[in-house]
Chain A
Amino acid sequence: DAGVIQSPRHEVTEMGQEVTLRCKPISGHDYLFWYRQTMMRGLELLIYFNNNVPIDDSGMPEDRFSAKMPNASFSTLKIQPSEPRDSAVYFCASRPPSGVGNTIYFGEGSWLTVV
């Protein structure tokens, strides 16, 4: 089975540019999570969806960040405009429906550098 697929794996962009990160969750999973990992703050949950609906976006740092899930097999995390402090690894993760277990499966991450 294919795991959680993220793209791009690496991106270097200039401050002020728009960044779009993409994620395809595991088929059949109805929860999707976006995490950010930095040295200073560790792993932080940004937002999560259930059945394509955003459930908790309290971790989204500010209005420059937005996330969408137009269908069960695709989600995006957008940063506009990007700033150097957004440099981090962004992980997408998915989870099967409740009752099947709470195991969250992670993608390999998108390494973002904003210069």
Chain B
Amino acid sequence: AQSVTQPDIHITVSEGASLELRCNYSYGATPYLFWYVQSPGQGLQLLLKYFSGDTLVQGIKGFEAEFKRSQSSFNLRKPSVHWSDAAEYFCAVGPRGGANNLFFGTGTRLTVIP
């Protein structure tokens, strides 16, 4: 069965520090992989996605993620966090080329301190 695990419920980092949010998935084959961000009171915004090719993908707002097949991971990174990055981050997986929906992790809440 497919599943997405985000082991960190809450992370606190200082502004300017680097960030890595973890995501592990269980899937029958290599899926499509996504990271979404949800700011307080807002909907989910797509940060980046991996479909194929280069395993290091760049997204909006200075985020990047690396797909590691051997570890079934798709961790999100940012070299220097800004206060405006405080939000909830969701990793998601979806089937290649098929219909239906995405399976979401439970999210990681990021707090940024001055």
Q: Which residues of A contact B (CB under 8 A)?
A: 4, 31, 33, 42-43, 45, 48, 50, 55-56, 91, 93, 98-99, 101-109, 111
User: Which one of B32, B95, B97, B102 has the greatest number of beta carbons of chain A within 10 Å?
Assistant: B102
Q: Tell me the B80-114 residues at the A interface (CB within 8 Å).
A: 90, 94-102, 104-107
User: How far is it, in angstroms, between the C-alpha of A108 and the C-alpha of B39 when the chains are bound?
Assistant: 10
User: How far is it, in angstroms, between the C-alpha of A111 and the C-alpha of B99 when the chains are bound?
Assistant: 28
Contact: A43 with B49, CB < 8 Å? no
Contact: A102 with B43, CB < 8 Å? no
Contact: A99 with B46, CB < 8 Å? no
Q: List 16 A-B contacts (CB under 8 A).
A: A33-B101, A42-B105, A43-B90, A45-B101, A55-B100, A91-B44, A98-B99, A101-B51, A102-B51, A102-B102, A103-B34, A103-B46, A104-B94, A104-B102, A106-B36, A109-B42
User: How far is it, in angstroms, between the C-alpha of A91 and the C-alpha of B96 when the chains are bound?
Assistant: 23
Contact: A103 with B49, CB < 8 Å? yes
Q: How many pairs, one residue from A and one from B, have CB atoms within 8 Å of each other in the complex?
A: 52
Which A-chain residue is minimally distant from B106 (CB atoms)? A42
B interface residues, how many (CB within 8 angstroms): 25
Which A-chain residue is minimally distant from B103 (CB atoms)? A45
CB neighbours of B34 from chain A (8 A): 103-104
Contact: B100 with A56, CB < 8 Å? yes
Contact: A106 with B43, CB < 8 Å? yes
Known: A50-B99, A102-B95. A107 touches B49 (CB 8 A): no
Known: A98-B97, A102-B32. A107 touches B43 (CB 8 A): yes
Within the complex, the shortest CB–CB distance from B103 to chain A, in Å, comes to: 9
Q: Tell me the B44-62 residues at the A interface (CB within 8 Å).
A: 44-46, 49, 51
CB neighbours of B97 from chain A (8 A): 98-99, 102
Which A-chain residue is minimally distant from B31 (CB atoms)? A102
Which A-chain residue is minimally distant from B51 (CB atoms)? A101
User: How far is it, in angstroms, between the C-alpha of A99 and the C-alpha of B98 when the chains are bound?
Assistant: 8
CB neighbours of B43 from chain A (8 A): 4, 91, 106-109
CB neighbours of A50 from chain B (8 A): 99
CB neighbours of A33 from chain B (8 A): 101
